[in-house]
Chains A and B, each alone.
Chain A
Amino acid sequence: MCKKEVGKIIKEKNIICIMCPMGCLITVTIDDNGDILRFSGNLCKEGEKYAKAECTFAGRVLTTTILTQNSLRKLLPVKTNQPIPKEQLMDAMVFISKLKVKPPVKVGQIIVKNLMDMQVDLVATDELPM
């Protein structure tokens, strides 16, 4: 949504804060340089911090499963060890869907280093015993 205000082109982003059960709907006003002008709708500073983080980098930890080979367990649960951009979640799922992992695997073991060049590793969250 674009508005003109005192000659600057401004964007407004709506973010639902997840820091406490209030779930404030925070409106973040951003100018055309990408600088945040103001926050409104938040009842506390935590909300500002969260909203700022979401505007700069809306990251999500991806938790999913990988198919296995040579194992009684059919799936190994995995997660990214850091958040990845939420826009990349589906692509990451497609990438991971083509992989297969063999035992033994320990919790925390890196399954894919630097997943899709995002500087984030995919690690096992459970073990795959022999």
Chain B
Amino acid sequence: MESQVDVAVIGAGPAGVAAAIKAKEGGAENVTIIERDTQPGGLLHQCIHDGFGLTYFKENMTGPEYARRFIEKAMDLKINFQLGTMVLDLTAGLNVTISNKFGIQTLHARAVVLAMGCRERTRHQIMLSGTRPAGIFTAGTAQRYVNVEGYIPGKRIVILGSGDVGMIMARRLTLEGAKVEAVVEILPYIGGLIRNGVQCIHDFNIPIFLGHTITEIWGLKRVQGVTIAKVDSDGKPVLGTEKTIECDTLLISAGLIPENELSLKAGIEINPITGGPSVNEMMETAIPGIFAGGNVVHVNDLVDNVTLEGEIAGASAANAALANVISANRKINLKAGKNIRYVVPQTISAQKETTLSIRVGEPAEKVMLRIGGILSKPLRVVKPSEMLRIKLSLDQLQGLQEGIKDLEVSCAKRR
């Protein structure tokens, strides 16, 4: 079965729904969101904790509440939702093949927005030694079980990784009656927000081992324990510091990986640093007509920013669908300089106001954020876990020299 759509959005998480709304508001008539789960909202459904919407709505909301705002708006705008539907293929010619219980369909889209989000880094990807018993989960999968499916993965939990997901699960499982025996973090500082450090770990007196890693998992049928050890400055375990912690469950919170299998199918190259497609300020990928926003482009911290990226992608997709070509004749590459891990978008036209998402490489204090010669901003503290969003006004961008091809973003210590 074949059909035509103006904008096809892949994923009904926060990026996708925001994109669809802006696409519709931007004039695209047939906007269809394809979502593999049976309900829209993506991971927001299992994020029942609060902290969402602080910047976008100036309210403190839980994940489901945040999702609901946009889903209701999308319904009001009569956006089509194809739920319980998986995208099997995506081509550079903007053909989207989907599968659900009603059959196989190919949507011929005028523009596509990729909003597939992320998957989690697995135990094997971090080469954790030991056996492969039941009881090992990535933190997000455990969160799905606890907050959506209605099951608790175990009674005695060890969590590897102190990123926000790991810390949130430490609190959640403690509240549900499990005992979190330890949170193990390889860096000498927690990986997520301080707020979570206090309200998830400190409040519950959960033992946290900073500068440690798990060197072995024990148990044949079900997890029986883990061995942890201190690490040196290279992250290598220090002999003689091993300690065994009994547990029946291990949660791995070792980071997120943008889920770009469909992007690859369409022939889009994936940036090795961000894990996602390189985009310009319209959130357009290297393939004309294919846009991307949210965690599929790079791992964000705040859903509010995911929404903003999705909105740009959706608005741009509508323009493309309506053939309103906004040609970006100038293409300036943003280069990651000192202590910058990456910048999104990777290229800008400097012809309109643009907000850059900047992630630093290492924590630092008293730094100067520089963007080419057009912006210098002193910052008291920067951390990799807290992305910077810097707006460049049209004035500032017009201050750039003619013919400039590259713009370096750097974050060095102030003298």
Contacts and interface: CB of A to CB of B under 8 A. Distances in A.
Interface of A: 16-18, 20-23, 43, 60-65, 67, 74-75, 77, 79, 86, 89-90, 93, 97, 107, 125-127
Interface string B134-167: 0000000000001111100000000000000000
A79 B195 CA distance: 18
A126 B380 contact: no
Interface in B326-375: none
Contacts of A67: 150
Nearest to B150: A74
B68 A127 contact: yes
B187 to A, nearest CB: 14
B138 to A, nearest CB: 20
A116 to B, nearest CB: 15
Question: Which of B65, B146, B197 has the largest number of chain A CB atoms within 10 A?
Answer: B65
Nearest to A67: B150
| 4 shortest interchain CB distances as A-B pairs | A126-B64, A77-B48, A23-B194, A74-B150
B147 A77 contact: yes
B48 A18 contact: no
Using C-beta atoms within 8 Å of the partner chain, give the interface range for chain B: 20 to 34
Contacts of B149: 74
B199 interface: yes
Nearest to A62: B175
A61 B380 CA distance: 30
A51 to B, nearest CB: 12
B354 to A, nearest CB: 24
B197 A61 contact: no
Contact of B62 (A21, A43, A125): A125
Contacts of A16: 194, 197-198, 202
B48 A65 contact: yes
A22 B381 contact: yes
B176 interface: yes
A21 to B, nearest CB: 5
Contacts of A21: 194, 381-383, 386
9 contacts: A16-B194, A16-B198, A22-B380, A43-B380, A65-B150, A75-B150, A77-B63, A107-B68, A125-B62
Given A63-B49, A126-B45, A75 B203 contact: no
Given A93-B177, A125-B65, 5 more contacts: A20-B381, A22-B380, A77-B62, A79-B62, A107-B68
